[in-house]
């Protein structure tokens, strides 16, 4: 009898444990059924197709509907990364497979049933629009999902494959050309809207978040009519796109007009040695990738369609997707891009042609009398013109023109490897709670207690924001919304708290410069 009782008791415990750990291991999505992998209460689905392979005649076209499959597709490993320089893959410790067939996404969910309606966080990777992939270890969504959100990461085409503009392509579409990578992101968001409920996610509570080019993408999606209604909050880490169109080598301007981008595309086809787009579509991806300038010359475009125009002006006219935003920059991220050494003369020779009649004001805002000061100024002006001013301008416009609140941060967490400030991308591991390993984005050794504490703090704010549109929560330092009057930002450092936005003298100098550039651009129309 005692043996029978023990057998029944063990069976009961087994059933209880099984019920407690039940996860969504399979789901029916657009195209067919998928099966994931469940580990410690988190179900991971990797390599779900969300569009047809953009190959052959579909190269340089908007993403097309996914091709259906029969049976159950096993989604236990990442799909190949989009075509790019293999250096990126190795640098970040990702699997080495690259392919033009790359429009896949990944889902991590802690949901135990499809009716949980968890907040959803959709990650858009960075890499200057020429590199990046979802399979970087630092982007694994497991630890973030453990905090009660469904996490999605989306691939998008890069370099010439994602952002080639050309008169033939513009004529073909009737709407402009050059933003295929952004259209991939939008297609991924449509997939989320249509399918994420199958994974226990709430399609009406979607937060897009990204870093660098991914953060810039978030700001572009916030201004794109094609993304309207597909997300409800936005997080941009070191991103933003509020400068006027690039027509030459203007300082701080990165997005070309359609005309400039088409000229770049025509020159590329000449280097490729083909007469037209039809011939270019017949070439192997490796040949296109191997042509000099096949990556660095391409960027999203003000095409008049996906990106209607200057985002600063769109916000002023209240023509944007108005949601709460959480946006910020890192204290020393210019170090990654600026030369390690500089002279006062070299700094001035860079600033004067780039910043035109505002060069004197810019030079006055960045002390550069010695070599050491010039090197620091080179780092700081890259940080401010590329990341900090767009973030500050975005927050100001959102506060003035939007109903959604803006929350601004300044990440200044220092480590033995970065004693002078936080490098570009260094916040990513803290957001995802992936601090160890992971190539260039991971800590080189075990995390210190202060690293773990910072990760708990940052990830809690991010998840709260995804849940409620506000990062604040019990036990966290108060984070006030940004306003034009107070200009507060959360400083992440040894005493994390809300303080004034830093480097205001430099930001105001750049603000004057960008205002002049906008007026110059209008006069040329």
Kindly report, residue by residue over 92-106, the tens digit of the pLDDT: 889 999 999 999 999
DSSP 96: -
Mean pLDDT for the stretch of residues 159-169: 97
Mean pLDDT for the stretch of residues 77-87: 94
Choose among 140, 157, 123, 205: nearest CA to 51. Answer: 157
pLDDT at 379: 97
Choose among 315, 287, 453, 454: nearest CA to 393. Answer: 315
Question: Residue 259 pLDDT > 90, yes or no?
Answer: yes
pLDDT at 116: 96
Q: Which of 250, 262, 333, 427 is catalytic?
A: 333
pLDDT at 22: 53
Q: Which of 81, 135, 153, 212 is catalytic?
A: 212
Mean pLDDT for the stretch of residues 206-233: 98
Question: Residue 255 pLDDT > 50, yes or no?
Answer: yes
Beta strands at 104-109 and 42-49: parallel, antiparallel or unpaired: antiparallel
To which residue do tokens 């003369």 refer?
345
Task: Say which range, 19-33, 40-54, 270-284, has the weakest mean pLDDT.
Answer: 19-33
Q: What is the CA radius of gyration of the chain?
A: 24
Mean pLDDT for the stretch of residues 155-174: 97
Report phi then psi at 133, rounded to 5: -165, 160
pLDDT at 525: 62
d(CA 38, CA 76): 10
The mean of the pLDDT values for the chain is 93
Q: Quick check: is 333 catalytic?
A: yes
Beta strands at 325-330 and 233-237: parallel, antiparallel or unpaired: parallel
Choose among 250, 260, 309: nearest CA to 520. Answer: 250
pLDDT at 87: 87
DSSP 305: S
Question: Residue 327 pLDDT > 90, yes or no?
Answer: yes
pLDDT at 241: 96
pLDDT at 294: 66
| Residue 181, CA distances (Å) to 102, 129, 157, 276, 525 in order | 11, 8, 5, 21, 27
> Are 399 and 320 within 8 A, CB to CB?
no
Percent of the chain with pLDDT over 70: 94
Task: Say which range, 18-27, 107-116, 345-354, 479-488, has the weakest mean pLDDT.
Answer: 18-27
Higher-pLDDT residue of 85 and 315 is 315
pLDDT band at 439 (very low <50, low <70, confident <90, very high): low
> Are 205 and 120 within 8 A, CB to CB?
yes
What the chain holds in terms of domains, given with CATH numbers, is 24-160+181-244+305-523 (3.40.50.1820)
pLDDT at 188: 98
**Range list of β-strands (E), 308-374:** 325-330
Choose among 307, 322, 275: nearest CA to 179. Answer: 307
Burial class (CB in 10 A: 0-12, 13-18, 19+), 84: buried
pLDDT at 7: 44
Question: Residue 438 pLDDT > 70, yes or no?
Answer: no
DSSP 396: H
pLDDT at 19: 37
Mean pLDDT for the stretch of residues 277-298: 89
Q: Which of 424, 459, 491, 496 is catalytic?
A: 424
pLDDT band at 62 (very low <50, low <70, confident <90, very high): very high
């Amino acid at each position: 009898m005692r043996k029978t009782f023990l057998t029944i008791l063990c069976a009961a415990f087994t059933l209880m444990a099984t019920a407690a750990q039940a996860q969504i291991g399979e789901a029916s999505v657009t195209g067919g059924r998928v099966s994931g992998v469940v580990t410690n209460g988190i179900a991971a689905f990797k390599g779900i197709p969300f569009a047809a392979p953009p190959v052959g005649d579909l190269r340089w076209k908007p993403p097309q509907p996914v091709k259906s499959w029969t049976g159950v597709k096993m989604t236990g490993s990442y799909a190949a990364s989009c075509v790019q320089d293999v250096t990126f893959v190795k640098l970040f410790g990702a699997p080495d497979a690259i392919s033009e067939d790359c429009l896949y996404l990944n889902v991590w969910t802690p949901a135990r049933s499809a009716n949980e309606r968890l907040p959803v966080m959709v990650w858009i990777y960075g890499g200057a629009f020429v590199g990046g992939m979802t399979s970087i270890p630092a982007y694994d969504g497991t630890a973030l999902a453990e905090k009660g959100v469904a996490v999605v990461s989306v691939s998008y085409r890069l370099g010439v494959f994602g952002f080639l503009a050309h008169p033939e392509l513009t004529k073909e579409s009737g709407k402009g050309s050059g933003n295929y990578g952004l259209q991939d992101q939008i297609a991924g968001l449509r997939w989320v809207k249509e399918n994420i409920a199958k994974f226990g996610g709430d399609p009406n509570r979607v937060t897009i978040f990204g870093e660098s080019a991914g953060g810039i993408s978030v700001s572009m999606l916030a201004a794109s009519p094609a993304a309207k209604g597909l997300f409800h909050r936005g997080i941009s880490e070191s991103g933003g796109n509020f400068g006027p169109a690039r027509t030459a080598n203007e300082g701080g301007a990165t997005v070309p007009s359609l005309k400039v981008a088409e000229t770049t595309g025509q020159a590329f086809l000449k280097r490729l040695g083909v007469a037209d787009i039809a011939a270019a579509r017949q070439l192997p991806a490796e040949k296109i990738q191997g042509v000099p300038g096949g990556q660095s010359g391409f960027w999203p475009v003000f095409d008049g369609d996906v990106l209607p125009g200057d985002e600063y002006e769109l916000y002023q006219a209240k023509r944007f997707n108005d949601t709460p935003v959480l946006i910020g920059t890192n204290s020393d991220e210019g170090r990654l891009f600026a030369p390690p050494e500089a002279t006062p003369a070299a700094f001035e020779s860079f600033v004067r042609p780039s910043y035109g009649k505002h060069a004197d004001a810019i030079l006055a805002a960045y002390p550069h009398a010695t070599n050491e000061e010039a090197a620091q100024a080179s780092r700081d002006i890259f940080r401010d013109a590329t990341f900090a001013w767009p973030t500050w301008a975005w927050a100001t416009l959102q506060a003035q023109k939007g109903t959604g609140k803006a929350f601004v941060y300044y990440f200044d967490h220092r480590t033995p490897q970065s004693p002078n400030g936080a490098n570009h991308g260094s916040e990513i591991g803290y957001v995802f709670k992936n601090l160890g390993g992971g190539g260039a984005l991971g800590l080189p050794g075990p995390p210190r207690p202060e690293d773990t504490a910072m990760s708990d703090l940052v990830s809690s704010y991010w998840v709260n924001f995804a849940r409620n549109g506000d990062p604040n929560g019990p036990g966290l330092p108060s984070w006030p919304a940004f306003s034009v009057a107070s200009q507060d930002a959360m400083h992440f450092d040894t005493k994390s708290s809300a303080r004034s936005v830093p480097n205001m003298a430099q930001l105001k100098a750049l603000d004057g410069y960008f205002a002049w550039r906008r007026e110059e651009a209008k006069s040329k129309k």
